[in-house]
């Protein structure tokens, strides 16, 4: 399907705080539902709709939206490809993915999407996503930086956003990583599984905040209390909770350099 339309929407006369928004989805009913939800949000104004990726790029050139509500799976050019092309533009619009599929969350945060909303979309869930888009624009690109600041992890029927500051340790588990995020209200350890290779994740994390100590372990640096030599060339990191983790030989020099050794 290939079709698009633009609406006046009064975008040019609105306050500078309002996000000019383009809705992209190959299902007409999904576009209509999203327009109804957006009409209730004063943070944005819909300036156009597109029913495929190619039309989305053409309208983005013409309308210069601040934000795209972008479906992932469309005939022809899919949502990820559209987002990657838009990311090369200056200024690049923000992207909120809206999809029935949770399997693309890793690719979504790899291209710095603002949010990843699962269908059917609820009004409150969309409002939270739009609030994040407003906050992102207020921060500006310089503050946003190039390192990962958040993760999306599957939880029941939605995806939870986990702030990187919450993650104390990351362990590799085959094709997944486990994000350890401290204790819950019941005092029990909390963790989340994410489909991602630890090697690829390491390159996206700020080395001033995280350090890899083993082929299977990345630590947040402020969780490390000290280093301990166990003899025979074996070293461990001591954590602030009193536990200890062995340092892999490949990573020992890097960990010692953190301590000025």
* Domain range summary for the chain, segments of one domain joined by +: 4-145, 163-258
The reported pLDDT for the residue numbered 4 is 53
| Dihedral, CA of residue 43, residue 47, residue 53 and residue 57, to nearest 10 | -100
Average predicted confidence (pLDDT) for the chain: 86
**Whole-number Å distance between alpha carbons of 49 and 6:** 6
Cβ pair 185, 168 in contact under 8 A: no
Backbone Cα Rg of the chain: 21
Of residues 110, 112, 113, 37, the one with CA closest to residue 71: 113
Cβ pair 96, 67 in contact under 8 A: yes
As a 3-state breakdown, the chain gives helix, strand, coil percent values, each rounded to 5, of 30, 35, 35
**Whole-number Å distance between alpha carbons of 246 and 162:** 26
Tokens of residue 172, six digits: 């590799």
Say if residue 236 is exposed, middle or buried (CB neighbours under 10 Å; 0-12, 13-18, 19+): middle
- The dihedral region occupied by 130, where left means phi > 0, alpha psi between -120 and 50, and beta the remainder, is alpha
| Same fold? 4-145, 163-258 | no
What is the CATH topology of the domain spanning 4-145? Rossmann fold (3.40.50)
Q: Does domain 163-258 have CATH number 2.40.50.1020?
A: yes
**Whole-number Å distance between alpha carbons of 235 and 261:** 13
Positions of the chain with pLDDT under 70? 1-17, 106, 139-146, 157, 261
How many CA atoms within 13 Å lie on the side-chain side of 222? 7
The residues, any chain, with a CB within 8 Å of residue 216's CB and separated by 6 or more, are 171, 172, 198
Q: Is the link from the previous residue into 120 a cis peptide, with omega within 30 of 0? A: yes
The reported pLDDT for the residue numbered 44 is 94
* 161: three-class secondary structure by DSSP: strand
The reported pLDDT for the residue numbered 116 is 86
- Please, what is the Cα angle at 201 between 181 and 83, to 5 degrees? 105
The reported pLDDT for the residue numbered 145 is 52
Write out the H or E segment, with its range, that includes residue 58.
helix 53-63
Model pTM score: 0.60
Strands 150-155 and 158-163: antiparallel
Cβ pair 31, 68 in contact under 8 A: no
| Per-residue pLDDT reduced to its tens digit, 221-230 | 999 999 999 9
């Amino acid at each position: 399907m290939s079709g698009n339309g633009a609406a006046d929407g009064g975008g040019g006369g609105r306050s500078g705080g309002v996000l000019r928004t383009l809705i992209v989805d190959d299902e007409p009913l999904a576009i209509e539902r999203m327009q109804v939800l957006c009409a209730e949000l004063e943070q944005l104004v819909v300036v156009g709709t597109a029913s495929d990726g190619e039309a989305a790029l053409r309208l983005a050139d013409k309308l210069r939206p601040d934000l795209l509500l972008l479906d992932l799976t469309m005939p022809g050019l899919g949502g990820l490809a559209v987002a990657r092309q838009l990311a090369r533009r200056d200024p690049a619009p923000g992207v909120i993915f809206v999809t029935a599929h949770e399997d693309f969350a890793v690719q979504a945060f790899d291209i710095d999407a603002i949010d990843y909303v699962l269908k059917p979309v609820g009004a409150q869930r969309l409002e939270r996503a739009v609030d994040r888009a407003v906050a992102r624009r207020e921060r500006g690109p310089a503050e946003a930086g190039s390192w990962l600041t958040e993760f999306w992890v599957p939880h029941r029927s939605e995806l939870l956003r986990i702030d990187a500051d919450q993650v104390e340790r990351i362990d590799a588990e085959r094709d997944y990583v486990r994000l350890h995020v401290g204790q819950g209200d019941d005092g029990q350890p909390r963790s989340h599984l994410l489909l991602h290779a630890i090697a690829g994740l390491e390159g996206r994390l700020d080395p001033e905040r995280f350090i890899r100590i083993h082929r299977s372990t990345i630590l947040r640096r402020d969780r490390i209390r000290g280093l301990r030599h166990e003899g025979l060339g074996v070293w461990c990191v001591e954590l602030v909770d009193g536990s200890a983790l062995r340092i892999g030989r490949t990573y020992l020099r890097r960990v010692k350099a953190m301590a000025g050794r």
